[in-house]
Structure 1
Amino acid sequence: MIKANTLKKGNIVDIGGQPHQVKDMEVQTPSARGSNTLYKVRFTNVVTGQKLDQTFKGNDTLEELEMERRPVSFIFRNQDMYTFMDSENFEQYTLGEASLEGKTEWLVEGLEEITALLLNGRVMAVELPASIDLEIVDTAPALKGASATNRNKPATLSNGMTVLVPEYLTPGEMIRVNTETGKFMSRVKS
């Protein structure tokens, strides 16, 4: 059992006999005395992909499901199906695009450090690494003296995504991007 006030993004709990993963949490602290802190949690049903919003008090308990965590790497995409390979026993798992909501744009062939969450031997979801390194393929030219400013410009990355990067970066450079927010983190030294 896990208390609502200790839930974290990524936890998987049983709600109505179905596995649900915590996607987002919002803490509301009422100003009235004696009021309980409320935890608004957005879950995603791991099997169906359906969203569920629920509110809990801090001491409410939920049953946490024990999921087997396996290291996998992304190997290829076939239409709307994504195939991952277990890094230890080389078993392959396939997930549909609906199960990977918000993650598909960061899946590049050969991406490692992905964790597959299995329940009863069946892959339910994957967790991406916190950040990935991608190459800038197109952006405006670097401006002389731009390192002294704090302005950003759009840059197209090797996966097709566009992120805002500092003005001093040029095409061909590698950068680190946060997979959760989709924002530039740092330049990768080669």
Structure 2
Amino acid sequence: MPKAPDIKPGHIIELDGAQYAVRKVDVHSPSARGAATLYKMTLAELVTKRKREEAFKGDDLLTLADFQSRSMQYLFADGEMHTFMDSEDYAQHLLSSEELGDQLDWLHEGMEGLTGLIVNDELVAIELPQSVVKTIVETAPGIKGASASARTKPAVLDGGITVQVPEYIEQGERIKVNTESRKFMSRA
């Protein structure tokens, strides 16, 4: 049984006899000595889709629900619904924009390397890959002679995400970004 710090968005946990998809995890570190770090989680029940917020201490044990992890590909968006295809049996599954939340910024048509969490033959959440290659659509001009350890500047990526990149990076370049920390890793 994992502890609260091990739970990430997209995991499925059991609480009070019901299964919940973890949508968001906020970590609150108190400033007082001896106070426990709290993990505030936004949950969505799988059956009724009702939201619930719970706070857990770092040593609280949680029960993971039974689910399958399947390789997925993002196909396309149709209004508020997004279609994913199982890479093994080619079954198509839908998730709404609300269910995807912040993950939506990272997705683009034809994107592969996603992991789908399936409960009772229904896609309930996706997990993004550790890193994604994106194109810079807007940033200040690069500075010639800027070193790799120099200052950074903001850059807007396709999908609307803003990350800090080194000064030598130009508009139109493809870069590798960590999806969890939203930090620049390298040129692609």
Larger radius of gyration: 1
Mapped to 2, the partners of 1:62 and 1:137 lie a distance apart of 41
1:44 aligns with 2:43: yes
| Alpha carbons of structure 1 residues 187 and 44: separation in structure 2 relative to 1, 3 Å | same
One-letter identity of the residue aligned with 2:115:
T
TM-score, length of structure 1 as denominator length: 0.82
SS in 2 for 1:146: coil
Match of 1:137 in 2: 137
| Alpha carbons of structure 1 residues 108 and 4: separation in structure 2 relative to 1, 3 Å | same
Mapped to 2, the partners of 1:45 and 1:181 lie a distance apart of 23
One-letter identity of the residue aligned with 1:69:
S
SS in 1 for 2:143: coil
One-letter identity of the residue aligned with 2:51:
Q
Deviations along 1:93-138, whole A, 9 cap, x unmatched? Answer: 1110110011101001111111111111011111111110011233
Q: How many residues are matched?
A: 183
| Alpha carbons of structure 1 residues 164 and 118: separation in structure 2 relative to 1, 3 Å | same
Mapped to 2, the partners of 1:72 and 1:18 lie a distance apart of 26
TM-score, length of structure 2 as denominator length: 0.82
Shift of 1:150: 1.9
One-letter identity of the residue aligned with 1:131:
S
Unpaired runs of 5+ in structure 1?
Answer: none
1:55 aligns with 2:56: yes
| Alpha carbons of structure 1 residues 87 and 57: separation in structure 2 relative to 1, 3 Å | closer
Match of 1:150 in 2: 150
Is the 2:136–2:157 Cα contact (8 Å) retained in structure 1?
Answer: yes
Is the 1:12–1:19 Cα contact (8 Å) retained in structure 2?
Answer: yes
1:20-39 equivalences in 2 (<5 Å): 20-22=20-22, 23-24=24-25, 26=27, 31=33, 39=38
Shift of 1:40: 3.1
Match of 1:18 in 2: 18
Mapped to 1, the partners of 2:153 and 2:37 lie a distance apart of 39
1:34-113 equivalences in 2 (<5 Å): 39-47=38-46, 48=49, 50-56=51-57, 58=59, 60-113=60-113
Match of 1:175 in 2: 175
| Alpha carbons of structure 1 residues 147 and 21: separation in structure 2 relative to 1, 3 Å | same
One-letter identity of the residue aligned with 1:124:
V
Mapped to 1, the partners of 2:141 and 2:5 lie a distance apart of 47
Mapped to 2, the partners of 1:9 and 1:147 lie a distance apart of 35
Mapped to 2, the partners of 1:164 and 1:6 lie a distance apart of 27
SS in 2 for 1:77: strand
Unpaired runs of 5+ in structure 2?
Answer: none
Mapped to 2, the partners of 1:160 and 1:61 lie a distance apart of 36
State the identity %: 36
